[in-house]
């Protein structure tokens, strides 16, 4: 848009442009930036479309200075105006600089405030999660009290069998602890880092090997748990993990480790440990305490057939 209007100036009104502008300036009208094209030859210059830039570079000083000088100075114009203007400019500089330096700590505190708010929200989330866990336990007790008769008791025992498997209750028992971490040179090569898929493979391998309950960094896995990467971090149930990753699995200690190592997941991690120098330590543990998955909620409830 601008280019077109600029271009049309020299071609359409080259002849009239110069004298008119001259006239205006000699009238004493202080025109900034605008000045007539110096010579008519620029109208056909190859860089005619760059007129604006050329003009800026060619005439950085106000042409009025030259005009006023040619007209002759009037010394009666006191120096006080210059002093006042200089005063204003100095004050402008000082105020702007002050404001910028003032704003810097304000921005910093704003950022700190946001960080504390995030942390408070995370704490609140933790509290709510623990409340969910306690409420779930309460539901279980109430259910046990409410389900009085024999048919209900059958349902109850089924629930009790299934609860630890799906991750609805906290469980304790012997199992396997696997600690994995990025290789020491992880900063140099992104491929040396533990990815979400590596943890997915690890968890699935543990299930395959007969684990009854699995948790990553204390986050219990259920069939609804998502292991994803978000930005730089891996998240489990949308909670980001910090390295190193501790994967705990409760199961039969005699077979769990061996079966895991033999599985495709074991081969996968063996490869990562060998070729990428990732940390991969697997050990049997006598007792593991895994919390319940707070992400499991009651989704469907119906009246038992009586």
* C-alpha span between 120 and 103 (Å, rounded): 25
| Residue 96 beta carbon to other proteins: minimum distance, rounded to whole angstroms | 5
Q: How far is the CB of 103 from other proteins (least distance, A)?
A: 10
Tell me the CB-side half-sphere exposure of residue 22, using CA atoms within 13 A. Answer: 7
The set of residues, in sequence order, having a beta carbon less than 8 Å from that of 144 and lying 6+ positions away, is 156
Whichever of 90 and 210 has its CB closer to other proteins, that residue is: 90
Shortest separation between residue 279's beta carbon and other proteins, angstroms: 47
Residue 96 and residue 48: Cα distance in Å, rounded? Answer: 38
Q: 40, 83, 148, 244: which one contacts other proteins (CB under 8 A)?
A: 83
Sign of CA dihedral 36, 39, 40, 44: negative
Which window, 83-91, 135-143, 224-232, 271-279, contacts other proteins (CB under 8 A)?
A: 83-91
Choice from 79, 286, 299, 303 touching other proteins (CB under 8 A): 79
By C-alpha distance, which of 108, 68, 235, 254 is closest to 174? 254
Q: Which is nearer to other proteins, 100 or 141 (CB)?
A: 100
Burial 12-38 (b: 16+ CB within 10 A, else e): eeeeebbeebeeebeeeeeeeeebbbe
Q: How far apart are CA 18 and CA 221, in angstroms?
A: 81
CB of 55 to other proteins, least distance (A): 10
- Alpha-carbon distance of 74 to 69, in angstroms, equals 10
CB of 106 to other proteins, least distance (A): 13
Q: Is 104 in the site for other proteins (CB under 8 A)?
A: no
Q: Which stretch binds other proteins (CB under 8 A): 92-100, 188-196, 256-264, 275-283?
A: 92-100
The answer to whether residue 142 forms part of the interface with other proteins (CB under 8 A) is: no
Question: Is position 85 an interface residue for other proteins (rule: CB under 8 A)?
Answer: yes
Size of site (CB under 8 A) for other proteins: 34
Site track for other proteins across 36-65, x = CB under 8 A: -----------------x--xx--xxx-xx
Q: Of 61 and 301, which has the nearer Cβ to other proteins?
A: 61
Q: Does 73 bind other proteins (CB under 8 A)?
A: yes
Binding other proteins (rule: CB under 8 A), the pick from 23, 91, 146, 151 is 91
Smallest gap from residue 34 Cβ to other proteins (A): 11
> Which residue among 1, 32, 106, 188 contacts other proteins (CB under 8 A)?
32
For residue 106, state whether it binds other proteins (rule: CB under 8 A). no
| Contact positions vs other proteins (CB under 8 A) | 30, 32, 53, 56-57, 60-62, 64-66, 68-69, 73, 77, 79, 81-96, 98-99
């Amino acid at each position: 848009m601008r280019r077109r209007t600029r271009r049309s100036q020299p071609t359409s009104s080259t002849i009239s442009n110069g004298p008119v502008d001259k006239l205006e300036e000699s009238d004493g009208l202080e025109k900034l930036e605008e000045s007539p094209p110096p010579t008519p030859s620029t109208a056909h210059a190859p860089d005619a479309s760059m007129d604006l830039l050329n003009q800026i570079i060619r005439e950085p000083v106000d042409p009025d200075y030259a005009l006023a000088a040619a007209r002759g100075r009037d010394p009666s114009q006191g120096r006080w105006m210059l002093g006042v203007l200089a005063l204003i400019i100095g004050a402008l500089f000082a105020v702007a600089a002050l404001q910028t330096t003032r704003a810097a700590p304000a921005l910093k505190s704003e950022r700190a405030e946001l960080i504390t708010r995030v942390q408070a929200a995370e704490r609140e989330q933790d509290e709510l999660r623990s409340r969910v866990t306690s409420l779930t336990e309460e539901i279980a007790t109430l259910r046990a009290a409410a389900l009085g008769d024999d048919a209900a008791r059958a349902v109850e025992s089924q629930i009790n069998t299934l609860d630890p498997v799906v991750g609805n209750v906290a469980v304790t028992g012997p199992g396997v602890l696997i600690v994995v971490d990025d290789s020491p040179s992880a900063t140099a090569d992104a491929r040396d880092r533990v990815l979400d898929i590596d943890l997915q493979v690890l968890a699935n391998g543990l299930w395959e090997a007969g684990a009854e309950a699995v948790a990553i960094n204390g986050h219990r896995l259920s069939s609804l748990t998502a292991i994803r990467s978000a930005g730089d971090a891996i998240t489990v149930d949308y909670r980001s993990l910090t390295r190193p990753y501790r994967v705990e699995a409760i199961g039969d200690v005699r077979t769990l480790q061996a079966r895991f190592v033999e599985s495709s997941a074991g081969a996968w991690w063996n490869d990562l440990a060998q070729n990428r120098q990732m940390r991969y330590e697997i050990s049997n543990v006598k007792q593991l305490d895994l919390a319940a998955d707070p992400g499991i909620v009651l989704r469907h409830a119906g009246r038992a057939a009586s």
